[in-house]
């Protein structure tokens, strides 16, 4: 079943499993602090499903995956469109109820976009011109606009760095990418005017941070509590140092502790050392992913590996940075660690793509791959 099984990137696979284990430990700590839930058991079920998904994607001939790139992209757009007619949860329509679980359509949409964009770019040199950037931009804008209608600005913006990285790997001139980046910077005042008051509050809470004293209101409360609970873990964490609990239970309050702030739960339990280990594991994952992309000689394989690795890396940077106040609070989950079935399944599918490319992506050589 696995041709070239000896080429499986075990370091990549084991780092993913270790990160998921760290996430489960964070969920257990959240149960201890905030009350028992069934989320640990559910996440274990998702993991038992995610591992076979990774194996199936890794074993599927990558040429077949390449052929199905655009059909998968089209199906993902249909799912995003259907999502807009689903019942709203907390003011947003992001999930499709499927009986036993709810599907977050934006998760598979990002993966399908990467595969479709790679399929478009692999045989074309037009992306070296400004006009040639039109189709890649449209491929990104369509799902972005549908996701913005949910609304989910954080997820929609994830398409931008992925698009930029894949265009660069496909041979787009740096001057063109720099011009687009400058245009985005110039448009920031307009984007600010279009933001909701909640989104503006998230940015302001980062610029105007307050340590110590009573917790501020609004989004500043999330950031204040995130840093406070993280600090309570100390160097080695509550598991080893066993600190006496703060008398005020409010000191431990942390909304979304099992999803957006799972990194804080890991830090509180295992301290700075635990956080450092998690970051090292992510560094191994990202280094392995870009190494697979660099070694792949087939254009679609290289572009897909670069896009997948960029997607995971950007989410890691956004999530970990927001917990310490370096970036605004977002709803971006921590890949492989945060609770969520859709995220876990799609991330393991993405890792399966990397494994597949590592085993088979070097066997076909393009004539002039990625020439500038």
Residues 244 and 311 in one domain: yes
Residues 46 and 90 in one domain: no
How far, in Å, CA of 275 to CA of 285, rounded?
15
Confirm if 84 and 146 have CB atoms less than 8 A apart: yes
Sign of CA dihedral 262, 320, 143, 67: negative
5 inside domain: no
Residues 221 and 356 in one domain: yes
157 inside domain: yes
Tally of domains in the chain: 2
Residues 264 and 358 in one domain: yes
Residues 94 and 165 in one domain: yes
Residues 358 and 220 in one domain: yes
User: What residues contact 327, with CB distance under 8 A and at least 6 apart?
Assistant: 206, 317, 318, 321
pLDDT digits (tens, 9 = 90+) for 255-302: 888 888 999 999 989 999 999 999 999 999 999 999 999 999 889 999
Residues 233 and 115 in one domain: no
Residues 224 and 337 in one domain: yes
pLDDT digits (tens, 9 = 90+) for 10-37: 999 999 999 999 999 999 988 888 877 7
Q: What are phi and psi of 179, to 5 degrees?
A: -65, -40
CA 149 to chain centre: 20
Element (H, E) at 223: helix 219-232
Task: For 79-113, give the DSSP string.
Answer: HHHHHTTSPPBTTB--EEE-SSSEEETHHHHHHHH
pLDDT digits (tens, 9 = 90+) for 139-188: 999 999 999 888 888 899 999 999 999 999 988 888 888 888 888 888 77
239, HSE (Cβ side, Cα atoms, 13 Å): 15
Structural domain harbouring 132: 64-188
371 inside domain: no
pLDDT band at 367 (very low <50, low <70, confident <90, very high): very low
48 inside domain: yes
pLDDT band at 225 (very low <50, low <70, confident <90, very high): confident
CA nearest 334: which of 270, 265, 274, 273?
A: 265
Cis peptide before 151 (omega within 30 of 0): yes
3 inside domain: no
195 inside domain: no
**Across the chain, what does the average pLDDT equal?**
85
pLDDT digits (tens, 9 = 90+) for 187-202: 777 777 767 777 777 7
* Predicted pLDDT at 6: 55
pLDDT digits (tens, 9 = 90+) for 92-128: 888 888 877 888 999 999 999 999 999 999 876 666 6
The two three-digit tokens of residue 152, written as one number: 């989910």
* Predicted pLDDT at 229: 85
* Predicted pLDDT at 174: 84
How far, in Å, CA of 208 to CA of 229, rounded?
19
Residues 222 and 330 in one domain: yes
Last residue of a domain, one of 188, 205, 227: 188
Element (H, E) at 318: helix 299-323
Confirm if 345 and 46 have CB atoms less than 8 A apart: yes
How far, in Å, CA of 216 to CA of 202, rounded?
12
* Mean pLDDT calculated for residue range 54-79: 93
Residue 59 has pLDDT above 80, yes or no: yes
Residues 356 and 219 in one domain: yes
pLDDT digits (tens, 9 = 90+) for 298-349: 899 999 999 999 999 999 999 999 988 888 888 899 999 999 999 999 999 9
Task: For 113-166, give the DSSP string.
Answer: HHHHHHHHHTT--GGGSSGGGHHHHHHHHHHHHHHHTTT-HHHHHTHHHHHHHH
307 inside domain: yes
Residues 50 and 89 in one domain: no
209 inside domain: no
Residues 46 and 93 in one domain: no
């Amino acid at each position: 079943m696995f041709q070239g099984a000896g080429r499986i990137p075990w370091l990549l696979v084991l780092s993913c499993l270790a990160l998921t284990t760290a996430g489960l430990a964070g969920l257990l700590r959240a149960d201890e602090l905030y009350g028992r839930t069934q989320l640990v058991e559910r996440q274990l079920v998702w993991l038992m499903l995610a591992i076979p998904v990774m194996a199936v994607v890794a074993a599927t001939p990558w040429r077949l995956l390449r052929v199905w790139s655009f059909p998968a992209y089209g199906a993902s757009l249909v799912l995003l469109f259907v999502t807009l007619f689903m019942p709203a949860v907390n003011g947003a329509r992001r999930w499709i109820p499927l009986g036993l679980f709810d599907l977050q359509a934006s998760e598979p949409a990002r993966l399908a976009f990467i595969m479709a964009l790679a399929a478009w770019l692999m045989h074309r040199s037009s992306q070296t011109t400004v006009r040639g950037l039109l189709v890649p931009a449209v491929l990104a804008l369509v799902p972005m606009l549908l996701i913005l209608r949910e609304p989910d600005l954080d997820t929609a913006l994830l398409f931008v760095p992925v698009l930029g990285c894949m265009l660069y790997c496909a041979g787009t001139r740096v001057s063109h990418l720099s011009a687009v980046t400058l245009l985005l910077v110039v448009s920031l005042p307009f984007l600010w005017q279009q933001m909701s008051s909640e989104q503006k509050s998230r940015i302001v809470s980062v610029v105007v941070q307050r340590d110590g004293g009573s917790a501020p209101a609004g989004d500043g409360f999330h950031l204040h509590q995130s840093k406070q609970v993280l600090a309570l873990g100390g160097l080695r964490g509550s598991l080893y140092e066993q600190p006496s609990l703060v008398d005020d239970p409010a000191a431990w309050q942390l909304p979304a502790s099992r999803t957006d702030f799972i990194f804080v739960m890991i830090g509180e339990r295992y301290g700075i050392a635990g956080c450092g280990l998690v970051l090292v594991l992510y560094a191994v994952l990202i280094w392995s992913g870009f190494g697979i992309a660099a070694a792949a000689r087939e254009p679609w394989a290289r572009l897909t590996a670069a896009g997948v690795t960029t997607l995971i890396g950007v989410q890691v940077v956004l999530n970990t940075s927001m917990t310490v106040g370096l970036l605004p609070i977002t709803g971006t989950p921590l890949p492989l660690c945060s609770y969520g079935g859709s995220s876990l399944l799609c991330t393991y599918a993405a890792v399966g793509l990397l494994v597949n490319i590592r085993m088979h992506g070097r066997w076909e050589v393009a004539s002039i791959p990625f020439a500038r």
